[in-house]
Structure 1
């Protein structure tokens, strides 16, 4: 079923320390996303980019979180824009930027869904807090923040409450988890398909199980948060935290095709495209191709 899509760019590079990811939205646009999707949708509009503040020289107060104030302000602005898009009956498609932007995306979505599901397509769990993070980089924390766990400056964005339930999360492609994240995954009972499961079961079985799992929970909306480092660096080299042994290009297309066939998604974001680290805009081109499959493009 064709959707009315609104694109929101978030040129955020404050959630981590490697520069260049702020150019991700521009790289995705340059790779022809509007032209690729316009025949697959009812209507598509590009709302431009959210304004991002300046990098902070020091951490704030007692927190070890880098650029906390600026990330929080940008997240508030993004949450408001996502809320506005949904209020207009359109599908929010968000481009990053580093993965800290998911804090704002999910906060905005949570205003409209009381039992939202989340598919976290990523090499990492992004379930760290200030206490467990080895770096203090907020792009490793958005899923924890959305669960209401972490610094209150972030967890209160969009309302001082958890935005999603742990039992409504499915992580796909994990292969680099910090010790604190492993503890939280077990404590909260979060559903995770690591690369071991993908290798052993195959991507088709993983996606069938993931989709069935979310349907069983009667989710009233499902958000896809796709980090390009979920793919193997051979296929998506332009990311800040590449991890070998990832999901292949073709497996990722299959995953997107199955999500389109299931027709369960109500929003999506594609993050961590860094053209400075890329090869001839290869990663942005991959992101656009995956969006094509997600919105109904067929091989035949």
Structure 2
């Protein structure tokens, strides 16, 4: 039999251990779609929240502490009337991402893991820039999970839509390929492509392909996943960019990485993608690595597809997030 004092001491120590192991999450929404040609991705954060996202994250574990930081709001900067070729809605993309980078800093200052809900994929410019401000670039690595490479510049993009350019704006190898863009002067291209790995690729533009070959970009396309299996691909990707497990990992997850059977309510769906099971397993392995420090989930568009498409896409997006935060498909016990 324990004495009352012994029980109190044990309870106190258990509480301290739980506090030390608490996973502190900061959710930030970015209702923004001007980096894409199709409208509606700006409704993604609201749709995810209204589906019960925050409360369901809290149910994963008693050790999860979630704070919702609301949505990003921004004011346009003066461009002095200067136009830059093939950068659609540049002033909006630049202003939104600058504001997002500042909010990501705020979340990190609160010692929380930023989870950014998009919005089109152009918002990765701000989310990753915000993390880099608080993390040495050589101490950070990025998994880009997407059907697309998103490595175009204004001179190579076939559309001018900036949701196809965010990766190229934040890596130093491609900085010389960009003109001087005053609106994006705050965005420092400090990360190296050697610390990036792409998973799920199946739609790559011509000049992006040339960049892949020129810089030796590490990637696993859908053919690799078919040949190797998602287990070997995931762990090879993590090992490549974080061989010693000492770097902070950012995951930028575009919902169109999943096959349209599981996520059709998105702007640029491409057939032959990841199954939902593969996407969940991938993020479970990311969680198990213990290195995840920040994440984007983008391109959920509740204005595309029918009601079933929207429901499936939202549910798939939530399942991906829950796996990243430690949800156990065999049941949670803590």
TM-score by length of 1: 0.93
- Paired with 1:152 and 1:102, the residues of 2 have a C-alpha distance of 20
Partner of 1:143: 167
Deviates more, 1:275-284 or 1:229-238: 275-284
Q: Deviations along 1:181-230, whole A, 9 cap, x unmatched?
A: 11111222211101010010000000110111122276531100000000
Partner of 1:86: 108
| SS of the residue 1:281 aligns to | helix
1:122-271 paired onto structure 2 within 5 Å: 122-148=146-172, 149=175, 150-153=178-181, 156-158=185-187, 161-216=188-243, 220-271=247-298
| SS of the residue 2:101 aligns to | helix
- Paired with 2:254 and 2:295, the residues of 1 have a C-alpha distance of 11
**Matched-pair contact (CA < 8 Å) for 1:60–1:68:** no
- Paired with 1:290 and 1:272, the residues of 2 have a C-alpha distance of 13
Aligned length: 294
- Paired with 1:81 and 1:68, the residues of 2 have a C-alpha distance of 20
Compute the displacement of 1:245 (Å). 0.4
Residue 5 (structure 1) aligned with residue 25 (structure 2)? yes
- Paired with 1:9 and 1:18, the residues of 2 have a C-alpha distance of 19
RMSD of aligned Cα (Å): 1.7
Q: Deviations along 1:65-89, whole A, 9 cap, x unmatched?
A: 0010111011100000101111121
Residue 118 (structure 1) aligned with residue 142 (structure 2)? yes
Distance of aligned partners of 1:210 and 1:146 in 2 relative to their CA distance in 1, 3 Å threshold? same
**Matched-pair contact (CA < 8 Å) for 1:204–1:255:** yes
Partner of 1:77: 99
Deviates more, 1:107-116 or 1:119-128: 107-116
| SS of the residue 2:265 aligns to | coil
**Matched-pair contact (CA < 8 Å) for 1:75–1:157:** no
Distance of aligned partners of 1:87 and 1:174 in 2 relative to their CA distance in 1, 3 Å threshold? same
- Paired with 1:48 and 1:24, the residues of 2 have a C-alpha distance of 13
Partner of 2:320: 290
| SS of the residue 1:46 aligns to | strand
Residue 35 (structure 1) aligned with residue 71 (structure 2)? no
Partner of 2:38: 18
- Paired with 2:68 and 2:120, the residues of 1 have a C-alpha distance of 19
TM-score by length of 2: 0.84
Give the unaligned 5+ runs of structure 1. none
| SS of the residue 1:276 aligns to | coil
- Paired with 1:155 and 1:221, the residues of 2 have a C-alpha distance of 25
Residue 48 (structure 1) aligned with residue 70 (structure 2)? yes
- Paired with 1:151 and 1:293, the residues of 2 have a C-alpha distance of 40
| SS of the residue 2:83 aligns to | coil
Distance of aligned partners of 1:219 and 1:68 in 2 relative to their CA distance in 1, 3 Å threshold? farther
Give the unaligned 5+ runs of structure 2. 1-20
**Matched-pair contact (CA < 8 Å) for 2:43–2:302:** yes
- Paired with 1:81 and 1:65, the residues of 2 have a C-alpha distance of 24
Compute the displacement of 1:61 (Å). 1.4
Residue 99 (structure 1) aligned with residue 126 (structure 2)? no
- Paired with 1:221 and 1:65, the residues of 2 have a C-alpha distance of 31
The structure with the largest alpha-carbon Rg is 2
| SS of the residue 2:25 aligns to | strand
- Paired with 1:225 and 1:299, the residues of 2 have a C-alpha distance of 22
- Paired with 2:37 and 2:225, the residues of 1 have a C-alpha distance of 30
